[in-house]
Amino acid sequence: MAEIYQPVEEFTAPAPLRDVDDVIDRYAGIFNRNDEELYVQDIPNEKSTDWMRREVPFFECADAVIERVYWFRWWTFRKHIASTPEGRIITEFLPDVYWAGAYNSINCANGHHVAEARWLRNGDDLIRSYVDFWFKGSGDELSYSSWIVDAVRRYAETRADRDFAVSLLDDFVRFYETVEERNMTRYGLFWSYDDRDAMEDSISGSGLRPTLNSYMAANARSIAAIARWAGRNDLADRFDAKASALTGLIREELWDPEGEFFKVLPLDDKDGVIAAMDFADVDPSRNVREEIGYIPWAFGLADERHEGAWRFLADPDHFAGAVGIRTAEACHPRYMNRDSAHECQWNGPCWPYATTQTLDAMIAEIRSGRGGLDAGDFMRELRRYAGIHHRQTADGEMVDWIDEDLDADTGAWISRDQLEAWNWRKDKGGYERGKDYNHSTFADLVISGFAGVDVHGDADGRTSLTVAPLAVGHGMPYWRLLGLPAGGSTVDLYYDLLGDRYGHGPGLTVIVGGIPHRDESARPRIDVAW
């Protein structure tokens, strides 16, 4: 593996305790100073410091890169908050692109947007406006594949906002049934065109894909949960049955037992007939392990029979590029084969969108306790993901950066290089189209994985918080996460290996409503309910 990138900057994470406002001021100052501010929406750079102080849970840790990228990604996220005549939304691109919908909206990453925004202190207002735009406004929720219902259900549990999810229940049902009408096949599985999965020019192409099928299984299960919150048990039973049936078909039909991976069954036409249901008979040019095969884990759809798939993640012949996770295995003959001139291809480049999905899947697998992965695996990939967030300018300066897709071995931003070579064509989105691209998460991975925060509700609407950090014991002697909104309360978390930094003693401390809860064990876990 290539060495993880370390930012060229005098500001790191020194041992002495730092003032919260000083940390935010310093990071915002660095990012603002290095930025070419091109497209301004609700919160310009000059207001970024105040916004981060007001909205973002404070985070510091002993890893300077993870800490810096946490703040950088929030700094870029606020660029995408935009007021429209229909309320505030969250954008994907900053410049207008012709394939977007109303107000430059694109639904493809809205599950990622909701996952990130749920941790903002006033994120509930933003999410309510944004989700209403997709289901009650002019947003086109059917443009790309999406796990939006699942994202809203998770938000509702995190923020104890079940009433909002219930208010959209009938809209969620209509959405699900429309996707069924458009995309359901004779095989009981959903068909998708790889471009509408936002994964154009993939090796496997269109067919019965782990993407949309996993999303819809998760959406069905979430509709069932929301229906139970609403007391509509018949509806809940109907969608539980849909989720169960779809899960069974994903496990049976999309799992290649010989290849030990979830794969795409190629099918070029939704109403067509699959030539081969056995992967041994699938056209070798389209029979491939792709990173989307890890998506079922992110939604709890895989089980112990599928654990062998994880051995390919850290294998350089398959998904482990020198700097990032590949979207297709390197051993396939069509890996990184530029079959078209399209600047965005999914035949091997590292995509932060997909890296986020895989890291979410890793968190879910580790929480399952099945043993396919451990915390060290997650921390390795989180550090590698953090390490791609930079670009070297023409004059040799290293700047913080997030863009579309990159070469998993060199770290070069592929689409940016191609767009620049085309002289920033207007029909492709113009100058620096992918700069500050909002197509993935990072802060949510820090909160949910690194810090191990899991907020959920019980049948009576009570909030349960579990904190089981994956960072403990992996070169992380201290970290803190303060002002985290959860279940109508505010949570502060401290980890201090030696107990000499934060004044709460050694180990993990979680403070909810002013009450501290502690665990000094080597693998701490704290459960709190209110």
Residue pLDDT, tens place only, 149-173: 999 999 999 999 999 999 999 999 9
State yes or no: pLDDT of 136 exceeds 50: yes
Q: Between vectors from CA 64 to CA 324 and to CA 12, what angle results, nearest 5°? A: 140
Q: Please give the structure tokens belonging to residue 61.
A: 């840790």
Catalogue all structural domains in the chain, each as residue range(s) with its CATH number.
148-273 (1.50.10.10)
Does an H or E element contain 87, and which?
strand 87-90
* Dihedral sign, Cα of residue 331, residue 333, residue 338, residue 340: negative
Three-state SS string over 486-498 comes to ECCEEEEEEEECC
State yes or no: pLDDT of 529 exceeds 70: yes
User: What pLDDT sits at residue 2?
Assistant: 37
The DSSP secondary-structure symbol of 450 reads I
Q: Please give the structure tokens belonging to residue 357.
A: 């999905």
State yes or no: pLDDT of 6 exceeds 90: no
User: What pLDDT sits at residue 276?
Assistant: 82
User: What pLDDT sits at residue 13?
Assistant: 47
Backbone angles phi, psi at 85, to 5 degrees: -60, -15
State yes or no: pLDDT of 22 exceeds 80: yes
Residue 22's contacts (CB-CB under 8 Å, 6 or more residues apart) are none
State yes or no: pLDDT of 528 exceeds 60: yes
User: What pLDDT sits at residue 362?
Assistant: 98
pLDDT in tens, 460-513: 889 999 999 999 999 899 999 999 999 999 999 999 999 999 999 999 999 999
State yes or no: pLDDT of 340 exceeds 80: no
User: What pLDDT sits at residue 252?
Assistant: 97
The DSSP secondary-structure symbol of 280 reads G
Distance CA 26, CA 10 (A): 11
User: What pLDDT sits at residue 458?
Assistant: 83
CB-hemisphere CA count at 13 Å for 492?
9
The predicted model gives 8-21 an average pLDDT of 64
Length of the chain: 530
pLDDT in tens, 25-81: 999 999 999 999 999 999 999 999 999 999 999 999 999 999 999 999 999 999 999
Average pLDDT, the chain: 95
Displacement of CA 93 from its chain's centroid (Å)? 16
User: What pLDDT sits at residue 15?
Assistant: 59
Cβ(203)–Cβ(328) below 8 Å: yes
The predicted model gives 369-376 an average pLDDT of 94
User: What pLDDT sits at residue 4?
Assistant: 39
pLDDT in tens, 288-311: 999 999 999 999 999 999 999 999
The closest of 290, 430, 451, 484 to 379, measured between CA atoms, is 451
Angle, to 10 degrees, between the axis of helix 169-183 and the axis of helix 210-229? Answer: 150
Between the CA of residue 361 and those of 54, 76, 301, 367, 460, what are the distances in Å? Answer: 31, 24, 10, 10, 28
User: What pLDDT sits at residue 341?
Assistant: 81
Strand ranges (E), 155-282: 191-192, 207-208, 255-256, 261-262, 265-266
Phi-psi region of 34 (alpha: psi -120 to 50; beta: other; left: phi over 0): alpha
Which residue has tokens 């798939």? 309
The closest of 132, 40, 140, 38 to 89, measured between CA atoms, is 132
- pLDDT > 70 fraction of the chain, expressed in percent and rounded: 97
To 10 degrees, the CA torsion angle through 359, 362, 367, 371? -160
User: What pLDDT sits at residue 28?
Assistant: 98
State yes or no: pLDDT of 320 exceeds 50: yes
The DSSP secondary-structure symbol of 43 reads S
pLDDT in tens, 82-134: 999 999 999 999 999 999 999 999 999 999 999 999 999 999 999 999 999 99
To 10 degrees, the CA torsion angle through 342, 346, 350, 356? 120
pLDDT in tens, 425-458: 999 999 999 999 999 999 999 999 999 999 998 8
User: What pLDDT sits at residue 11?
Assistant: 41
The predicted model gives 4-10 an average pLDDT of 41
pTM value > 0.85: yes
User: What pLDDT sits at residue 463?
Assistant: 94
Q: Please give the structure tokens belonging to residue 318.
A: 């398959």
